[in-house]
Chains A and B, each alone.
Chain A
């Protein structure tokens, strides 16, 4: 692949012009020019929303409520509480691994794009990684909406054929004696990784444990770790 084509792909994927005619020779110039003016999707989506509101097809306050839900109420802190409870309570951990829907509902979470949950557990000898190679399937009730990289071509394409290489890009080097299990979310099951509990966290409260659980650890591209200076 030539440098030019790579540059074009990078510019095109990050550019925000939906209906701009692609011009390969000037892709970069366009990208810069567009930053000074309202981007095309902004105007287009605004016009679409106005039309649908005026036709009585959508309720603007419902749109606000949906956005507020995923910007402020539903996100990876939910999943972190699930993980912390599983670390703190062996009986809960068992319920979580055998009937994830019910166990997650115990903490008050569940619903859209998490109707059918599966929790997979990391151990010293097994590491789990979640992907959706076909689109962007992700467990919303416990992790919120997926980050851009999770939905991107590089992750979707390589997580199954070169998962160890992908993990390396996230700073995670798996030992040769660790078994890597990749879960491709091709159906309506949604996967959450139960990371290993960090060493030295025995004295932490459940709330303190939850603070160690990152979104990346629950996807499997990271691990839960005590930060420098944490009490323990």
Chain B
């Protein structure tokens, strides 16, 4: 989806404002929002790509108005509603609906160190033929899907060179929509800064973008 989340190359967003000695969470609610989102993910009713897609569907004006963890909460609530895990009445009242059965959370404190230290790998150990190889010239496809994609807008239609093959990974475009993992090679592709931005870019600079096989065509 050509949404506002796809920010690479946009201008007039103002200076980068770095904060000295920044805390991990500025306010307690941000930590709670972060943790609740992680803990609800453990139900595996959705995946990482689906939750990213949910955040991308926040209306543009709200995407900019909301702070980072507010966007997480908005997306989490939507995912829970869509999966029938909470009801609008419960969100309104703050209490479980009468007669609803109490469940058992999948993520306990004992399992947190396992989750954080093992992670959720996206690499898949399956044999898939690589269509491209290091050193080959490629073009990022010009496509504009309305669903989830990790093909950044600023690279579409641009030519680059395969820098390296990262191996086989699940494909977010289908995974986000629960249409299967469609495992395929992910490559690091080098784009000259001038190919992306023209003469205003420094001639020796470049942007390396990770791209799935389906995003590429021979140049």
Contact B24 A144 (CB under 8 A): yes
The size of the chain B interface, using a CB distance under 8 A, is 95
Contact B154 A160 (CB under 8 A): yes
Residues of chain B within 8 A (CB-CB) of A228 are none
Q: How many A-B residue pairs have CB under 8 A?
A: 296
Residues of chain B within 8 A (CB-CB) of A133 are 6-9, 152, 154
Q: Which one, B18, B35, B121, B150, contacts A186 given CB within 8 A?
A: B150
Residues of chain B within 8 A (CB-CB) of A135 are 5, 52, 55
Cβ distance A66 to chain B, nearest Cβ, rounded Å: 4
Write out, one digit per residue, whether chain B residues 89-122 have a CB within 8 A of any chain A CB (1) or not (0): 0110011100010111101110111011111111
Question: A226–B9 Cα gap in the complex (Å)?
Answer: 34
Which of B36, B115, B202 is most buried by chain A, counting CB atoms within 10 A of its CB?
A: B36
Q: Which one, B35, B94, B103, B188, contacts A56 given CB within 8 A?
A: B103
Contact B31 A71 (CB under 8 A): yes
Write out, one digit per residue, whether chain A residues 66-90 have a CB within 8 A of any chain B CB (1) or not (0): 1101110011000000000000000
Question: A170–B20 Cα gap in the complex (Å)?
Answer: 12
Contact B109 A13 (CB under 8 A): no
Known: A48-B73, A184-B208, A188-B123. A62 touches B107 (CB 8 A): yes
Residues of chain B within 8 A (CB-CB) of A169 are 15-16
What is the interface of chain A, defined by CB distance below 8 A to chain B? 1, 6, 9-10, 12-16, 18, 22, 39, 41-42, 44-52, 54-59, 61-67, 69-71, 74-75, 110-116, 118, 131, 133-136, 141, 144-145, 147-149, 151-161, 163-164, 166, 169-170, 176-189, 216, 221
What is the interface of chain B, defined by CB distance below 8 A to chain A? 5-19, 22, 24-36, 38-40, 43, 52, 55, 61, 64-70, 73-74, 77, 85-86, 90-91, 94-96, 100, 102-105, 107-109, 111-113, 115-123, 150-152, 154, 166, 169, 186, 188, 193, 196-197, 201-202, 204-212
